[in-house]
Amino acid sequence: MIVEDRSRMYIDGIWADSSDGGYIDVTNPATEQVIARVPRATMSDVDRALEAAEKGWLIWRATDPWTRSDCLRAAAAALRDRHEELASVLTKEQGKPLAESRSEIRGAWEQFEWFSDEARRISGDVLDARSEHYALVLRESIGPVAAFTPWNFPALLPARKIAPALAAGCSMILKPADEAPQAAFAIAEACELAGLPPGVLNVVTGDAAQISARLLSSRIIRKLTLTGSVPVGRVLLRAAAENIVDTTMELGGHAPTIVLRDTSPREAARRCVAAKYRNAGQVCISPTRFYVHREIYREYCEAFVDEVARLKVGNGSDPETDVGPLNNSRRVDAITALVKEAIAAGALLAIGGRRPADQPVGHYFQPTVLIDVPERARIMQEEPFGPVAPISVYDDLEEALNRANGTQYGLAGYVITDDMSEGLKAAARLEVGMVGVNDFALSYAGVPFGGRKLSGMGTESGSSAMDSYLVRKSIHVGLTHRIPSASIGLRSTAS
């Protein structure tokens, strides 16, 4: 039974079904019940979105930055006014505990607030290039943007792309994840209420492969931004290469956490557990590999398991829930396989490792701890993206750093220590885009977010995110107006 139905795409300022009436069911991962239906866009729908984005860009790029700023700030206010309602919707379609959904909605409107100010700060340069010659360097919007976002943060990740794009004067076609699309619709509605002109923001749902192929084969799209997996990133990069489309990509990670011997093992374990099981581990910057010094290893593992045993698994709408369900059954199957393979490779299962017996319905998986995990285990090389913590021992920092840097990922990393000097030394050597030293909160509107290696290219959030949506144009100005007539093929008329 449909209990919620925010089920319209947003194209050219109009809320509409797909042109052929096709739809996709959205289910609550805690109950597996259908809670909404969203349109399955046809290619004619996507073409309409392309035409709208091209038209919208011509209007929006000519709109002065202060007006764009006011629009972004009004959109932030609209999201803030619906804070509790949207958090509830987010929990039902994504699964995370309500407290985490509230925090995510707050993070989404903060993106709009931050970039409303950045819209007013777009500046260029005037260069005194040589005698009687100046060069003006302008920064202009890059053009219509194709944006793709996943289901793990259905409000924050679209906001992280939409806000800077609109601030820069770009239009956008957003393809949110079909598993959790309603938060993206709510952002579009907030922008509509704020007075955003039709066509500047368009939101379509449906077959991701078909939609991305259509968008990236169009010469209208001048920018691609993706948050997703490495395989999807490779596919879209190849498609973007055909039209030489600028790209920003955040492709996930496998964040190492190095626990130095000078720290309290029980306090370190408490911090790590709180970060690891947020959103059931479905966080791209989640700490996913724990390297602990041998001197404190056993005490740390015991404390870690004790903390995990206290976590309550359940429906995210229950205020007592600490860990909600995974978003879909595919994640449950993937986590089950990783745990079994790690045990076969020699790891010890300390707690968890299966679906909860008291949760027969829903995509649940017990918070799990694996200890003495060998480096060859697949879970140490591939991002688990779930509520599983593999813990391993090390003897010296050089060894820990080599193992931490030993994967192809480089998004985030963490160091836990009571010696800030040692912590900063270790942080400097981690091959990642972001490091937390005694801190797992790395995502702020005003700070760059991005990684290295297979974790992607470019950054989002922070002032530097504006560069992703702007291009530079040089205008060269000669200060003398006398041009010899012979140089332009004209006869002199002087008598």
Intra-chain end-to-end CA distance of the chain, in Å: 92
The CA distance from 262 to 91, in Å, is 39
Q: What is the DSSP string of 26-73?
A: EE-TTT--EEEEEE---HHHHHHHHHHHHHHHHHHHTS-HHHHHHHHH
CA angle at residue 8 from 7 to 10, to 5 degrees? 145
The CA distance from 71 to 345, in Å, is 55
SS (H, E, C) 280-327: HHCCCCCEEEEEEEHHHHHHHHHHHHHHHHCCCECCCCCCCCCECCCC
Q: Supply the angle between the helices 98-118 and 182-193 in degrees, to the nearest 10.
A: 40
476 three-state secondary structure: strand
243 three-state secondary structure: coil
Does residue 284 have an active-site annotation? yes
Set 284, 307, 383, 460: catalytic member: 284
Set 250, 307, 383, 460: catalytic member: 250
Does residue 93 have an active-site annotation? no
Q: How many residues does the chain have?
A: 495
Element (DSSP H or E) covering residue 332: helix 329-344
Element (DSSP H or E) covering residue 10: strand 9-11
CA angle at residue 350 from 349 to 352, to 5 degrees? 80
Catalytically active residues, by annotation: 250, 284
